[in-house]
Chains A and B, each alone.
Chain A
Amino acid sequence: MGKAISISENPFSKTNNQGIDIKEKAVVGLTQIAVLLIIAILFIILGIIIYQGREKFSWEFISSFPTDGMTKGGIFPALIGTFILVVVMSIAAVPFGTITAIYLTEYAKEKSKIAAAVRFSIRTLAVVPSIIFGLFGLGFFIQFVGTGMDTAFNEGELHWGQPNILWASLTMALLTLPVIIVSVEESLKTIPRELREASLALGATKWQTIKNVVFPGSISGIMTGTILAVSRGAGEVAPILFTGAAYYLATLPESLSDQFMNLGYHVYIMSTQSSDVEKTMPIQFATTLVLLILTLSLNLVAVIIRSRIRRRAK
């Protein structure tokens, strides 16, 4: 039977207006300022683009060709060119990336040297500056493979050995491969080991287990990876500078050996080489706005899918 403690002596009654740490308040304040700053910068950038581009931004803008030396008209061919680029890029990169991810998660032994080499390559690819991809595309795809194809199939006549949408897409595919592989791997890892064991214990082979249990679980990772890759591929310019993007084309590309126009490249050209910068400024901003909307919405979808994957992991 203890005796009662007076209020002043009771350690539980210590109120919190005694010596609040100035340091604590300062840190919280600093982080709040940082957050506000970042949001402000984002809004300023978005605000400028929307404000400057709203004049030209319209359905007509998206659906018509540029005219009068690109000082008037729309960006339709650039939109289509970008679209074809990301489609071909995805066809090349997604299966390749998925298979690599499945290999790394399901087949490679932990200490395997090959797996270590693959992982190292992926990490390196992910940090290579995008202009290097452009140079690689030029040197390898265009000058080596393309010229080689011309020598073998066209008796040396120049057809494949020059910039076109195929080479540009393949170059872009290399750039976005790490994103796809990482995404697919992440979703594969959320599939619990017990499910694989259950399948094997029923007498399934490893391949049957992958096909029926593992692969269906990786679909969301493939989707996320593809969307992230597409959003990156739609915006990058350096890899397509010398591998296929063109300043102006009167018609849409009709085959893989044609060149193409591109949204990001379009902005670049107009801001550096246009004949009348004042007239093209609104077009530049409107094009940027289109590109922004595209990539932001794609990223948003990818984030939503990814959070669903993470929830399943719990």
Chain B
Amino acid sequence: MKDTKIQVKDLSLYYGEKKALKEISLEIPRNKVTALIGPSGCGKSTFLRCINRMNDLIPDVKITGQMLVEGVDIYDKNVDVVNIRKKIGMVFQKSNPFPKSIYENIAYGPKINGIKGKNELDEIVEISLRQAAIWDEVKDRLGDSAMGLSGGQQQRLCIARTLAVSPDIILMDEPASALDPISTSKIEELVHELKEQYTIIIVTHNMQQAARTSDFTAFFYLGELIEMGKTNAIFTKPEKKQTEDYITGRFG
């Protein structure tokens, strides 16, 4: 299994009494883009948040099963969750830059990790902003507040911020759903470039986007994983009828 980055075994999640994820088992391949699709409320975002243990923050949540990243179960008691989140970054649906300058937003992660030298930080900021394809737009105003950027720029800033801590895996929760078509295509291009270096998992409710950007697709429905496979196969020859119904728009 050396091409597998994440192996999920019978992962279930309970909000109190309600079972929101039902024994999910799948494998996320390394250095590819995996899309999670499904109708609203199917659990794809909940599942995504399990990968970097953000669901730990919600009271009354119980998680059973295993999530093995490079062979290590990240839900094991001895695992340092703060460290996990440095290696597994997340970009949220609605961009959430800090009310600080552009520079300080990107430098936040490295500073948290103890990097102090100005030269080193400057370098990290520039590399991250270049990787996120936004360096040229902001290089002359790094001291300006991040809140002054447009929606699409803010989202690319958040991606740069995530890249600045050098994660292995990048989780994206509908990163372009709040953006205009041009910004959306910029983000999709970015995803395509980033997969050389990172493993990317992207939740999307936009099937065309999933078909365009991903190598593998997993279809969720009512908390269960219905089908997963190469994107091409899922969209042309799905094995399960439910998958076919969703893809052809019979329900959404």
Q: Is residue B94 within 8 Å, beta carbon to beta carbon, of the partner chain? A: yes
B1 at the binding interface (Cβ < 8 Å):
no
Using a CB–CB cutoff of 8 Å, the interface residues on chain B facing chain A are 52, 54, 57, 59, 82-87, 89-90, 92, 94, 96-99, 108-109, 112-113, 158, 161-162, 165
Q: Give chain A residues whose Cβ lies under 8 Å from the Cβ of B84.
A: 203
Q: How many residue pairs at the A-B interface have CB separations less than 8 Å? A: 60
CB distance from A221 to the nearest CB of B (A): 15
Q: Which of A56-64, A204-212, A269-277, A289-297 lies on the face that meets chain B?
A: A204-212
* List of B residues within 8 angstroms of A201 by Cβ: 52, 54, 85, 89-90, 92, 162
CB distance from A314 to the nearest CB of B (A): 14
Knowing A109-B59, A110-B59, A208-B112 are in contact, say whether A200-B54 is a contact too (CB < 8 A).
yes
Cβ of B113: which chain A residues have Cβ within 8 Å of it? 203
Shortest CB distance A233–B (Å): 32
A130 contacts which chain B residues (CB < 8 A)? none
A197 touches B92 (CB 8 A): yes
Q: Given A194-B94, A198-B98, are A204 and B112 also a contact pair (CB < 8 Å)?
A: yes
B112 touches A200 (CB 8 A): no
Per the bound structure, the CA–CA distance linking A213 and B113 in Å amounts to 16
Complex CA distance for A267 and B236, rounded to whole angstroms: 88
Chain A residues lying within 8 Å of B59, measured Cβ to Cβ, are: 109-110
Q: A179–B153 Cα gap in the complex (Å)?
A: 40
A198 near B92 (CB under 8 angstroms)? yes
Provide the residues of chain A in CB contact with B98, threshold 8 Å. 195, 198-199, 213
Residues of chain B within 8 A of A195, CB atoms compared: 96, 98-99
- 19 A-B interface contacts by CB (under 8 A): A194-B92, A194-B94, A195-B99, A197-B57, A197-B92, A198-B158, A198-B161, A200-B85, A201-B54, A201-B162, A202-B85, A202-B112, A202-B162, A203-B84, A203-B87, A203-B112, A204-B108, A204-B112, A212-B108
Known: A109-B59, A195-B99, A202-B109. 10 other contacts (CB 8 A): A195-B98, A198-B161, A201-B54, A201-B85, A201-B162, A202-B108, A202-B112, A202-B165, A203-B84, A208-B112
How far does the Cβ of A280 sit from chain B's closest Cβ, in whole Å? Answer: 53
When distances are taken between beta carbons in the complex, the residues of chain B under 8 Å from A197 are 54, 57, 92, 96
- Residue on B nearest A196 in the bound complex, by CB: B57
Nearest chain A CB to B60 CB, angstrom units: 10
Instruction: Looking at the assembled complex, report how far the CB atom of A77 sits from the nearest CB atom of chain B, in whole angstroms.
Output: 45
Instruction: List CB contacts (< 8 Å) of A144-169 with chain B.
Output: none
A199 and B96 CA atoms in complex are apart in Å by: 10
Minimum CB–CB distance from A125 to chain B (whole Å) comes to 28
In the assembled complex, the CB of B146 is this many whole angstroms from the nearest CB of chain A, namely 11
Residues of chain A within 8 A of B82, CB atoms compared: 203-205
A202 touches B57 (CB 8 A): no
* Cα separation A208 to B82 with both chains bound (whole Å): 11
CA A214 – CA B109 in complex, angstroms?
16
Residue of B nearest to A206 (CB): B82
Nearest B residue (CB) for A212: B108
**What CA separation (Å) do A62 and B94 show in the bound complex?**
56
Cβ of A182 to closest chain B Cβ, rounded Å: 23
Among B92, B158, B165, contact of A203 (Cβ-Cβ < 8 Å): B165
Would A194 and B96 count as touching, CB distance under 8 A? yes
User: Which among A199, A200, A203, A213 has the greatest number of chain B C-beta atoms within 10 A?
Assistant: A203
Q: Which 7 pairs from chain A and chain B are nearest by CB?
A: A203-B86, A194-B96, A203-B85, A201-B90, A202-B109, A198-B96, A204-B112
Q: Are B161 and A202 in contact (CB under 8 A)?
A: yes
CB distance from B50 to the nearest CB of A (A): 13
Contacts of A204 in B (CB 8 A): 82, 108-109, 112
Interface string of A256-280 (1 = CB under 8 A from B): 0000000000000000000000000
Residue of A nearest to B91 (CB): A201
Chain B residues within 8 Å of A200, by CB: 54, 57, 85
User: CB-CB < 8 A to A192: which residues of B?
Assistant: 96
What string of 1s and 0s marks CB contacts (under 8 Å) between A126-147 and chain B? 0000000000000000000000
**Residues of B contacting A198 in the complex (Cβ-Cβ under 8 angstroms):** 92, 96-98, 158, 161
Q: How far is the CB of B151 from chain A (nearest CB, A)?
A: 14
When each residue 103-135 of chain A gets 1 if its CB lies under 8 Å from chain B and 0 otherwise, what string results?
A: 000000110000000000000000000000000
